[in-house]
């Protein structure tokens, strides 16, 4: 079985043009791969570049150097150089992403926020809503909230909407940026179970988890991001 995601020699820095063009190196020489059915966890202290790596893999941050090869639509795509249109197609079909924070849209209900990724992939709206209901129930989001836009929800409630939105599709690669940060123990366990289901289904997962118990429960291996530190010699 081909490896769904291979990262080689990726480097990233930020050039701050409003600050006299100072260059902030973030990471360099980032190399790893993720197999189908495993959950790898990015480890290292805050500021080591964990989130930046996830964002590059999702096309949300530009890549300075290196390759991000993803198995997409029976071929291989280098996300580091792919056109915006290709990145959008990869996001639709191949790589899913659960961010820490939900970006809400005015007037769209929590249920439709969750169902939307399936609708975008051409699934029938009612069928998608059915799956959204099941996930929101599994994540213990009170049913009276489902029809409301999540803008006014608590942090934990928004995060559960976000998790449901990220887990509803069957992307072969799933990126998780601290999906359990504002959850109580009961809901953390639900997320751990959801991750186990994805693994069993052959999904390749890469995540950031600061919560030690969650990391212990889901990680098949830790990728130490400090070995990719770029800031030591520069700046």
Partner 1 sequence: MTDEPLLRVSALSKFYGSRVGCENVSFDLWPGEVLAVVGESGSGKTTLLNCLSTRLLPSSGTASYRMRDGQFRELYRMSEAERRFLMRTDWGFVHQNPADGLRMTVSAGANVGERLMAVGDRHYGKIRATAVDWLSRVEIDEDRIDDEPRAFSGGMRQRLQIARNLVTGPRLVFMDEPTGGLDVSVQARLLDLLRGLVTDLGLAAIVVTHDLAVARLLSQRMMVMKDGRVVESGLTDRVLDDPRAPYTQLLVSSILQV
Give the interface with partner 1 as residue ranges (CB under 8 A).
Answer: 14-18, 55, 59-62, 73, 84-89, 105-108, 120
Minimum Å gap between C-beta 88 and partner 1 is 6
**Cβ 192 to partner 1, closest distance in Å?**
29
Give the DSSP per-residue string, 76-128: EEETTT--HHHHHHHHHHTEEEE-SS----TT--HHHHHHHHHHHTT--HHHH
Q: Which is nearer to partner 1, 177 or 218 (CB)?
A: 177
Kindly state the smallest distance separating residue 164's Cβ from partner 1, in Å.
20
Comparing CB distances to partner 1, the nearer of 16 and 127 is 16
Cβ distance to partner 1 smaller for residue 12 or 198? 12
Burial class (CB in 10 A: 0-12, 13-18, 19+), 218: buried
Q: Least CB distance from residue 84 to partner 1, whole Å? A: 4
Which residues are 42's β-sheet partners?
Answer: 223
CB of 115 to partner 1, least distance (A): 13
Q: Which is nearer to partner 1, 16 or 134 (CB)?
A: 16
Smaller CB distance to partner 1: residue 16 or 137? 16
Q: Is 83 exposed, middle or buried (0-12, 13-18, 19+ CB in 10 A)?
A: exposed
- Neighbour count for residue 212 (Cβ, 10 Å): 8
Give 177's Cβ-side CA count (13 Å radius). 20
């Amino acid at each position: 079985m081909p490896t769904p995601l291979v990262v080689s020699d990726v480097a990233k820095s930020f050039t701050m043009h409003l600050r006299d063009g100072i260059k902030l190196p973030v990471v360099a020489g980032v190399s790893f791969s993720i197999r189908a059915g495993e959950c790898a966890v990015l480890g290292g202290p805050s500021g080591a570049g964990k989130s930046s790596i996830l964002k590059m893999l999702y096309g949300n941050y530009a890549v300075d150097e290196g390759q991000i090869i993803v198995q997409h639509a029976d071929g291989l795509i280098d996300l580091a150089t792919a056109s915006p249109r290709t990145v959008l197609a990869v996001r639709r079909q191949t790589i899913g992403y659960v961010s820490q924070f939900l970006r809400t849209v005015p007037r769209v209900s929590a249920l439709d926020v969750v169902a939307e990724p399936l609708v975008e992939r051409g699934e029938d709206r009612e069928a998608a809503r059915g799956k959204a209901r099941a996930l929101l129930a599994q994540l213990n989001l009170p049913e009276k909230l489902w029809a409301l836009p999540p803008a006014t929800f608590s942090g934990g409630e928004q995060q559960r909407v976000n998790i449901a939105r990220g887990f509803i599709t069957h992307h072969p690669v799933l990126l998780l940026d601290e999906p359990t940060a504002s959850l109580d123990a009961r809901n953390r366990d639900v997320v751990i179970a959801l991750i186990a289901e994805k693994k069993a289904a052959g999904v390749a997962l890469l995540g950031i988890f600061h919560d030690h118990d969650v990391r212990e429960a889901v990680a098949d291996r830790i990728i130490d991001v400090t070995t990719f530190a770029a800031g030591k010699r520069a700046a």
